[in-house]
Chains A and B, each alone.
Chain A
Amino acid sequence: MKNRLLTTAIGAGTVMASLSACGGGGGGGDTASADAGNCSVPIAETEAPVVSVWSWYPNAKTVVEDFNELHDDVQVCLTNAGQGADEYARFQTAVSAGTGAPDVIMLETDTVPVFALQEALVDLTQYGADEVQGNFGEGAWRDVSSGDAVYGIPVDGGPMAMMYRTDVFEQYGITPPTTWEEYRAAGEALKAAGGPLMGDFPANVPAPTVALMQQNGAEPWVYDSGDPTQLEIDLNSPEGKEVLDYWAGLVRDGLVGTQDQFTTDYIAGAIRGDYATYISAAWAPGYLTGAGAGEGEDAGNWAVAPLPQWDPANPVSVNWGGSVFSVTSQSEQPELAAQVAKELYADEASLTDGWTSQTIFPLNQSVLSSQEFIDNESEFFSGQTANRDVYIPAAEAYEGSTYSPFGTTFYAQFTEEIAAINAGEKTGSEALDDLQAEMETYATQQGFTLD
């Protein structure tokens, strides 16, 4: 309401964005020739060529300092261009404008296809991506690959697991469920005993829901970078519907909450013990710690167990989140940029700093196989060896997945469908049928051919 001229604001924003983009690219190049004065971390080797990097890891400065210290042939100029969606909005604007992107950009794994499709990212196979392939598990590598092309070097991942409140479980005599059937039964027991909610089904973060659908064998997106316009969308498969109907049932029966996550309200509820479990990923303990959980009165209340399964005979591991370094196609020094993508956050000091501060769950095998990491007793989980018991097996069993080539639009639509489920307007199946139709319309509009 504030801006009376908002009719024009979008247009103005567009122009200003491209203006500032032009400004950034002064000498006909891009930010590659970044002015060292603008970097968040001082350049150690002033003679060496500089590669610009956008990243928002909490310990990004340490990581870049380590990199600049270790290298005399190339230096990194770090910019924090915002976290997640904020950075993507800037990058998207730079991509649309054709100028203003950095050489190397940190992307969440599920965002890589969105930009790869727009030819905004460089295929790293031509710059020796295979040299570092051995550092990562198969699933992690499949996540950054499309057909023969590789669009990013993995840094961290999010093998999913079930965090739970030991105080709630003890009080109501519940043992950690191993199947989704048991998960529901535990929820019913909690409700019958007047306990808190079993979990939460948020509308605003559909990514874990997609992962849970994949756990049951759904394959919502099928395409190949060789011909990305040839697309197969299968959101309303029976497997997917089973999962969404299951959660819609939990919501309908009042067994789980419908609170949006990554909000103050959710954190407050999690700390207060409103939710007996938090279906989350390996980075979640760090996230919760940063938000103030696991301290004071809340200390010693958390433990983690493997994600419940649909078929305990054939357990499936899925992944939520994680991030990679990609090289943008606007880079004028792709070879150097690829070197940075391969070597940044890959040295021992940085990785150790990352996992000990709980800011990332590294995918680099050098960490996953290190005894110190395996035997680490997590303070958040009251000394539980969470890596060995839960997260490492989940990471190793993860087979990789194919993410949506238009993630932001897909997630926004999925959010609306989940909100409709949570409002009691649709069943899970209905929501997926509608989502399928919407995505097909959108894909056709955007020029895809649907199989």
Chain B
Amino acid sequence: MATLDTAPRPQAPAADPAPARSRRQRRGRAQGLIGWAFLAPFAVVFLLFLVTPLLYAFYLSLFTKGLATGERFAGLDNYTRAFTDPAFLSGVWFVIRFSLVVIPVQILVALAAALVLDSVTSRFARFSRLMIFVPYAIPAVIGAVMWGFLYSPNFGPLEQLFGDGAPFLLSPDNLFYGFTNVVTWQWAGYYMIIIYAALQGIDPAVYEAARIDGASSRQIALRLKVPMISSALILILVFSLIGTLQFFTEPQVLTPISNGAISTDITPNVYAFNLAFRFAQFNYASAISFALGIVVFIGVYLFLFLTRKRGGFLK
């Protein structure tokens, strides 16, 4: 997305005497090497821990290995199987439905909080900003464990409020809402900070002009601020779309206390993890991971394509 702003390299004039040119070329080459040296720590980590595993996973996904049979080359069979596997498809359908609900909810919460905090300047606003952001600072695993206790039918607050009739938010029917709540709690603060930062970047003179024109505070918020931060909104939409399609941590952590409601294939990522590390189907798990990658790529590309007039990514 961001391109490195490299200073234009001085071009050696052709009239330069030969020794000077070679010296300058040498210096240029040395500088190039230094550049590579600076790049090396990143490049090594990037190649070793991102590109290589990706390639290896793709390689794995081209084979099959049954418990009673040896490994054999399968070509794209695993992918055919993935896109006809009800477990995978229902997982994809789950995360799509989940995205459609949870993304608008968390962005609305974040936007509302950011707009309020932007127009109020007091110590209370700073405190609130921090408090709204705090859930993001809690590691997702710990957050999920904590919510597991809050949802507990035996000693959670719901039980204390409603007694035995307390709704269990991880039952098959309520799971969706239980997850929506945890994810919104976790991420709304983070998105709020991004929106808030974008709001702070707007020149206050614009508001003054609007006010002179007779705009109310609400009109300023909805007609001025929101359109002016639309690229930030699209950024967080992309973030949350990718994140939600890859939903993993919360279902994984809450599985043991869901009384079986969270199955091993609830989301594609959970499914891939279980296939690989519980069911020993590394090949198929790799294919599922790649298949999910394809779904995410198509989803994000579609989204960016549809919003290309507002966003800055595809311009």
CA distance A408 to B280 in the complex (A): 9
B282, A6: Cβ atoms closer than 8 Å:
no
B289, A418: Cβ atoms closer than 8 Å:
no
A422, B249: Cβ atoms closer than 8 Å:
no
CA distance A360 to B172 in the complex (A): 36
Interface membership of chain A positions 249-277, coded 1 if the CB is closer than 8 angstroms to chain B and 0 otherwise: 00000000011101111001100000000
In the complex, whether A357 has a CB less than 8 A from a CB of chain B is no
Interface residues of A in 1-25 (CB under 8 A from B): 1-16
B247, A260: Cβ atoms closer than 8 Å:
no
A12-B49 contact in complex given A1-B246, A7-B289, A265-B153, C-beta closer than 8 Å: yes
Of A1, A16, A412, A445, the residue contacting B264 (CB under 8 A) is: A412
Of A4, A10, A15, A202, the residue contacting B289 (CB under 8 A) is: A10
A10, B276: Cβ atoms closer than 8 Å:
yes
In the complex, whether A419 has a CB less than 8 A from a CB of chain B is yes
B69, A446: Cβ atoms closer than 8 Å:
yes
B246, A14: Cβ atoms closer than 8 Å:
no
CA distance A447 to B289 in the complex (A): 23
In the complex, whether A423 has a CB less than 8 A from a CB of chain B is yes
Stretch of A70-78, A85-93, A161-169 contacting B (4+ beta carbons < 8 Å)? A85-93
A13, B276: Cβ atoms closer than 8 Å:
yes
Interface residues of B in 243-281 (CB under 8 A from A): 243-244, 246-250, 256-261, 263-264, 269, 272-274, 276-280
B53, A2: Cβ atoms closer than 8 Å:
no
Of B60, B256, B277, B286, the residue contacting A92 (CB under 8 A) is: B277
CA distance A5 to B243 in the complex (A): 9
Of A5, A12, A13, A448, the residue contacting B277 (CB under 8 A) is: A13
With both chains docked as a complex, state the minimum distance between the C-beta of B298 and any C-beta of chain A, in angstroms.
13
Q: How many residue-residue contacts, CB under 8 A, span A and B?
A: 164
B69, A447: Cβ atoms closer than 8 Å:
yes
In the complex, whether A304 has a CB less than 8 A from a CB of chain B is no
The closest CB in chain B to the CB of A231 belongs to B68
A11, B277: Cβ atoms closer than 8 Å:
no
Tally of contact residues, A, Cβ under 8 A? 54
In the complex, whether A229 has a CB less than 8 A from a CB of chain B is yes
A204-B246 contact in complex given A2-B139, A446-B67, A446-B69, C-beta closer than 8 Å: no
With both chains docked as a complex, state the minimum distance between the C-beta of A417 and any C-beta of chain B, in angstroms.
9
With both chains docked as a complex, state the minimum distance between the C-beta of A235 and any C-beta of chain B, in angstroms.
18
A1, B248: Cβ atoms closer than 8 Å:
yes
A117, B257: Cβ atoms closer than 8 Å:
no
The closest CB in chain B to the CB of A97 belongs to B282
CA distance A234 to B17 in the complex (A): 90
With both chains docked as a complex, state the minimum distance between the C-beta of A444 and any C-beta of chain B, in angstroms.
9
B256, A260: Cβ atoms closer than 8 Å:
yes
A1-B50 contact in complex given A260-B259, A419-B261, C-beta closer than 8 Å: no
B248, A15: Cβ atoms closer than 8 Å:
no
CA distance A409 to B285 in the complex (A): 14
Interface residues of B in 94-151 (CB under 8 A from A): 139-141, 149
In the complex, whether A175 has a CB less than 8 A from a CB of chain B is no
The closest CB in chain A to the CB of B258 belongs to A260
In the complex, whether B54 has a CB less than 8 A from a CB of chain A is yes
In the complex, whether A376 has a CB less than 8 A from a CB of chain B is no
A229, B154: Cβ atoms closer than 8 Å:
no
In the complex, whether A382 has a CB less than 8 A from a CB of chain B is no
The closest CB in chain A to the CB of B247 belongs to A1
A8-B50 contact in complex given A2-B249, A423-B172, C-beta closer than 8 Å: yes
With both chains docked as a complex, state the minimum distance between the C-beta of A99 and any C-beta of chain B, in angstroms.
15
Of A89, A204, A260, A268, the residue contacting B278 (CB under 8 A) is: A89
A11, B53: Cβ atoms closer than 8 Å:
yes
A260, B260: Cβ atoms closer than 8 Å:
yes
In the complex, whether A405 has a CB less than 8 A from a CB of chain B is yes
B272, A447: Cβ atoms closer than 8 Å:
no
A416, B263: Cβ atoms closer than 8 Å:
yes
Interface residues of B in 152-197 (CB under 8 A from A): 152-155, 171-172, 183, 186-187
B172, A11: Cβ atoms closer than 8 Å:
no
The closest CB in chain A to the CB of B171 belongs to A423
A7-B278 contact in complex given A15-B56, A269-B154, A419-B260, C-beta closer than 8 Å: no
Q: What are the residues of chain B within 8 A of A269 when measuring CB–CB?
A: 154
A117-B258 contact in complex given A5-B50, A15-B52, C-beta closer than 8 Å: no
In the complex, whether A365 has a CB less than 8 A from a CB of chain B is no
CA distance A405 to B279 in the complex (A): 12
A1-B68 contact in complex given A204-B260, A422-B260, C-beta closer than 8 Å: no
A10, B272: Cβ atoms closer than 8 Å:
yes
In the complex, whether B66 has a CB less than 8 A from a CB of chain A is yes
Q: What are the residues of chain B within 8 A of A12 when measuring CB–CB?
A: 49-50, 53, 57
Q: List 16 A-B contacts (CB under 8 A).
A: A1-B246, A7-B296, A8-B54, A9-B269, A11-B289, A14-B276, A15-B56, A95-B280, A96-B282, A409-B278, A409-B279, A415-B263, A419-B260, A422-B260, A447-B66, A447-B67
> B residues engaging A (CB < 8 A)?
49-50, 52-54, 56-58, 60, 66-69, 139-141, 149, 152-155, 171-172, 183, 186-187, 239, 242-244, 246-250, 256-261, 263-264, 269, 272-274, 276-280, 282, 285-286, 288-290, 292-293, 296
> A residues engaging B (CB < 8 A)?
1-16, 85, 88-89, 92-93, 95-96, 117-118, 202-204, 228-229, 258-260, 262-265, 268-269, 405-406, 408-409, 412, 415-416, 418-419, 422-423, 445-448
